[in-house]
């Protein structure tokens, strides 16, 4: 038998075969110049010549920022500029101790750059592994090349799930249907014939063929749009946008406060200029939560590195965060719960059909499709082709149709047309054959119907009057790790919805074997209401949905989102692309089609569904821990602003030098925040990041500022003489440290041995500064007498008690 899509490796006819565009020119689809299609493709010499001329698809597709962008993004920030100016001032007017904050910023920036470069290396390495490698014909041979290796005039082959990576003109088409929704927004696939255009960014949903590249690289129509479509939109990151909002408010508060502080210290106070400058800078620097952005970047970067070690490619960093917020995960059965391969376990003939003849039909059907899916591949493996049949017409499998077909000229001169697909789609309701397969579906087996038809294959009503000839029973291979993964999601209160194009009862049986709650209550998606609100209610009630079309998958995702759910969609086939694109987080298997990997934010290169819990856990770690440490940073910002306002209003000297606040920031925020940000955290991600952080940081900062300023005023009445200011500063520093430590004590909950050790180590560090003489001198901290130091401790204890009561009240008023 002749396979219709077999590659013709012969050379072109003299002069080549000229193919027109077949379309009218217009703004959406500009007409390319006529191109010569050569079935055998270009020669190696022609490829080299085009590369030398620059006619190569050189559009870069990066999985991460460039090295230059990383360095610029970490160095040239608004707050680095402010702190840099203040640092230069302090280097001029004050001892090196008061310039320590500048060295800390340099170290932080370096850490951020190094961690993001490490993450970039991981991402780029994984991107190479998962990169699409289109098949092109060169020197009469089909060869897989990188996307960037395609040159002008290349003959590029297409099959189901392949993404069109450059613009071109169709040269060969065998039932070729292309989805252009990423470009046009139209969901219906477009049938393509020789001479029609194909655009970069579209993908094949059925059939196969080949096209000749007419525009490559940056000259390709919508080359940038295709790159954008492959990412289609950046995942919304509430964490990053929340931090940006906070920094904006901080800037608004900081500018007028800093101006007032400068005026009060340099103009109102008649003191030493250098000392006034130092204390002014000491008031401005702690207002800036500079380490918060660093820790967020580091947490994301380390998350990428950890997931990369598990062969998980995160194409958009905030996707880690997004999956942690997911409360519904939609799973495609094939390739997710089951492995790709299948086995034919039984062939049941119907209506007295001859089994040998049926086997010959199945063998011919397998040979008619050059790119068989898993079901057809199992049939090909079981029933070899007979060379005396010739395929005259074929209809590739489509997820929307749920069947494929072919017309044959048999060896004895007879002709016949056959369909192979879902029995409940090919047969009318109530057909007795459907009763026969019910018990098979209940056992989780997949059943295909072989039926003879009389109409034309391209007739949408060809299945009407189909005569059943046989049932092909297939057994699917369950993924060994699927049951544990479903159990994890159930334990984490993440609802799992199995959405499949297969028979609902069969899908439910597979899900039941894996222990999915609610698997027994299956729903045939053809009976789902079209109204989005009613559909959402039905989706909340059910767990297993069968006979779902690709468009329905998309509608189901939208209905769940309308009902307030954050939805993740997993899949590996071209029928999953639309749903993956619309889901909050799309997860593709590494062995999936090019189209699914292009629109997914996360690609599981090891094809292991069991990697998903690691991604969820990593996202929860990032969000939960950054929320913790953000409270530390912003409490400092609030008390710094309030202290400056109190100083301006009272007309006193600012109580701290930069060295004091550098010490406090290091011991109560910087060092503990680094460890807390990278610690395990399985707490489910909660929305409203800014609100949740500020409702703790604002009262914490107010209490810390009030307690510190109270101690400072008490010390000013207690001490006198030339060294009074130093003693007053030391007492205020003690109070601020103790209150800040209590903030850390609260943030560190629930306690583990290492968290208790972390808090104790920070307290010991401050104690060492107070008792070691050279550290006392270095940081200008010396407690004088006993009355005022103990008074400072008492004020701090009162502040800590009030802080505890306030935060508990916030917890009761705004429960998590």
Question: Annotated catalytic sites, by residue?
Answer: 332
Side-chain half-sphere exposure of 13, counting CA atoms within 13 A: 2
- Return d(Cα 18, Cα 12) in angstroms, integer: 11
- Whole-angstrom distance, CA of residue 529 vs CA of residue 509: 24
| Positions of E strands within 518-609 | 522-524, 544-546, 567-571, 585-589, 602-604
DSSP element (H, E) containing 498: strand 495-499
How far apart are the C-alpha atoms of 572 and 64, rounded to whole Å?
23
Give 87-156 as a 3 state SS string.
Answer: HHHHHHHCCHHHHHHHHHHHHHHHHHHHHHHHHHHHHHHHHHHHCCCCEEEECCEEEECCHHHCECCCEE
The b/e string for 93-113 (b: 16+ C-beta within 10 A; e otherwise) is bbeebbbbbbebbeebbebbb
Distance CA 422, CA 502 (A): 8
Read off the tokens for 659.
Answer: 């060295």
Residues in Cβ contact with 310 at an 8 Å cutoff, skipping those fewer than 6 apart: 606, 611, 614
Between the two ends of the chain, the Cα-to-Cα distance in Å is: 67
109 vs 273: CA distance, rounded Å: 31
| 172 within 8 A of 238, measured Cβ to Cβ | no
Residue (of 591, 585, 607, 579) closest to 179 by Cα position: 579
Q: Are 357 and 470 in contact (CB under 8 A)?
A: no
Q: Is the dihedral of CA 586, 591, 592, 595 positive or negative?
A: positive
Q: Which of 563, 518, 554, 555 minimizes the C-alpha distance to 536?
A: 563
Q: 472 and 362 in contact (C-beta within 8 Å)?
A: yes
For residue 684, the tally of other CB atoms under 10 A from its CB is 16
Query: Cis before residue 750, ω within 30 degrees of 0?
Result: yes
Using CA atoms, how far apart are residues 614 and 359, in angstroms rounded to an integer? 45
By CB neighbour count within 10 A (0-12 exposed, 13-18 middle, 19+ buried), where does 54 fall? Answer: exposed
Cα(793)–Cα(788) distance, integer angstroms: 9
Q: Which residues contact 137 (CB under 8 A, 6 or more apart)?
A: 7, 39, 40, 41, 42, 143, 154, 155, 157, 210
The pair of three-digit structure tokens given for residue 343, joined into one six-digit string:
């086995």
Distances (CA, A) of 167 to 30, 151, 160, 256: 11, 11, 18, 55
Pairing of strands 446-453, 415-421: antiparallel
Distance CA 350, CA 339 (A): 29
| 3-class DSSP state of 205 | strand
Torsion angle, CA of 530/536/542/548, rounded to 10 degrees? 40
Write down the residue that tokens 């490698």 correspond to.
133
Q: Are strands 203-215 and 522-524 parallel, antiparallel or unpaired?
A: unpaired
* Among 518, 616, 495, CA closest to 564: 495
């Amino acid at each position: 038998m002749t396979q219709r899509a077999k590659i013709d490796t012969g050379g072109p006819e003299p002069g080549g075969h000229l193919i027109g565009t077949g379309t009218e020119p217009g703004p959406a689809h500009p007409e390319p110049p006529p191109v010569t299609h050569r079935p055998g493709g270009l020669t190696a010499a022609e490829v080299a010549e085009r590369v030398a001329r620059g006619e190569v698809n050189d559009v870069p597709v990066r999985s991460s920022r460039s090295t230059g962008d990383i360095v610029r993004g970490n160095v040239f920030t608004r707050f680095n500029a402010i702190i840099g100016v203040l640092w230069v001032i302090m280097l001029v007017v004050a001892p090196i101790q008061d310039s320590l904050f500048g060295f800390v910023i340099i170290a932080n920036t370096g850490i951020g750059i190094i961690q993001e470069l490490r993450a970039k290396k991981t991402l780029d390495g994984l991107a190479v592994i998962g990169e699409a490698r289109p098949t092109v014909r060169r020197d009469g041979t089909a060869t897989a090349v990188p996307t960037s290796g395609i040159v002008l005039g290349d003959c590029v082959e297409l099959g189901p799930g392949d993404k069109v990576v450059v613009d071109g003109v169709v040269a060969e088409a065998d039932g070729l249907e292309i989805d252009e929704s990423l470009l046009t927004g139209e969901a219906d696939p477009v049938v393509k014939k020789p001479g029609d255009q194909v655009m970069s960014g579209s993908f094949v949903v059925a059939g196969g063929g080949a096209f000749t590249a007419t525009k490559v690289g940056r000259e390709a129509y919508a080359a940038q749009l295709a790159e954008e479509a492959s990412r289609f939109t950046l995942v919304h990151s509430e964490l990053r946008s929340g931090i940006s909002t906070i920094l904006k408010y901080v800037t608004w508060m900081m500018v007028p406060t800093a101006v007032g502080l400068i005026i009060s210290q340099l103009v109102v106070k008649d003191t030493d200029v250098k000392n006034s400058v130092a204390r002014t800078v000491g008031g401005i620097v702690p207002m800036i939560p500079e380490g918060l952005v660093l820790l967020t970047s580091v947490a994301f970067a380390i998350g990428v590195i950890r997931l990369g070690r598990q062969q998980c490619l995160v194409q958009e960093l905030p996707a880690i965060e997004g999956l942690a917020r997911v409360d519904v995960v939609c799973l495609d059965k094939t390739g997710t719960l089951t492995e790709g391969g299948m086995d034919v376990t039984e062939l049941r003939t119907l209506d007295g059909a001859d089994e040998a003849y049926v086997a010959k039909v199945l063998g011919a059907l397998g040979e008619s499709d050059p790119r068989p899916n898993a079901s057809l591949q199992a049939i090909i493996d079981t029933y070899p082709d007979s060379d005396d049949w010739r395929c005259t017409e074929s209809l590739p499998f489509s997820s929307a149709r749920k069947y494929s077909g072919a017309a044959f000229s048999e060896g004895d001169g007879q002709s016949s047309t056959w369909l192979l697909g879902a029995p409940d789609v090919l047969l009318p309701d109530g057909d007795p054959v459907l009763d026969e397969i019910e018990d098979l579906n209940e056992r989780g087996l997949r059943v295909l119907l072989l039926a003879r038809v009389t109409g034309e294959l391209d007739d949408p009503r060809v299945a009407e009057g189909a005569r059943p000839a046989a049932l092909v029973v297939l057994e699917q291979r369950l993924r060994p790790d699927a049951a544990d993964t479903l159990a994890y999601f159930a334990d984490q209160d993440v609802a799992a919805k199995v959405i499949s194009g297969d028979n609902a009862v069969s899908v439910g049986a597979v899900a039941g074997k894996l222990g999915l709650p609610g698997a027994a209550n299956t729903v045939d998606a053809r009976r789902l209401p079209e109204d989005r609100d009613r559909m959402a209610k039905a989706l909340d009630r059910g767990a297993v949905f069968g006979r779902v079309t690709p468009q329905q998958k998309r509608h189901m995702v939208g209905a769940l989102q309308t009902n307030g759910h954050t939805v993740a969609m997993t899949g590996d086939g071209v029928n999953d692309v639309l749903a993956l694109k619309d889901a909050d987080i799309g997860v593709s298997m590494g062995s999936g089609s090019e189209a699914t990997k292009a629109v997914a934010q996360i690609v599981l290169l090891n094809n292991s569904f069991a990697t998903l819990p690691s991604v969820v856990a990593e996202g929860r770690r990032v969000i939960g821990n950054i929320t913790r440490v953000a409270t530390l940073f912003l409490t400092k910002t609030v008390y710094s602003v309030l202290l400056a306002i109190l100083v301006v209003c009272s007309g006193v000297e600012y109580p701290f030098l930069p060295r004091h606040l550098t010490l406090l920031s290091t011991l109560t925020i910087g060092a503990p925040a680094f460890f807390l940000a990278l610690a395990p955290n399985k707490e489910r991600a909660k929305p409203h990041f800014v609100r949740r952080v500020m409702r703790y940081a604002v009262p914490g900062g107010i209490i810390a500022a009030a307690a510190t300023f109270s101690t400072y005023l008490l010390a000013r009445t207690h001490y006198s003489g030339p060294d009074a200011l130093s003693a007053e500063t030391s007492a205020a520093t003690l109070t601020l440290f103790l209150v800040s430590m209590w903030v850390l004590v609260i943030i560190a909950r629930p306690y583990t041995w290492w968290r208790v050790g972390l808090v104790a180590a920070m307290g010991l560090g401050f104690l060492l500064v107070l008792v070691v003489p050279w550290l006392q001198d270095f940081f200008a901290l010396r407690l004088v007498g006993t009355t005022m130091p103990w008074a400072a401790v008492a004020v701090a204890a009162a502040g800590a008690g009030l802080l505890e009561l306030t935060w508990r009240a916030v917890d009761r008023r705004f429960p998590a």
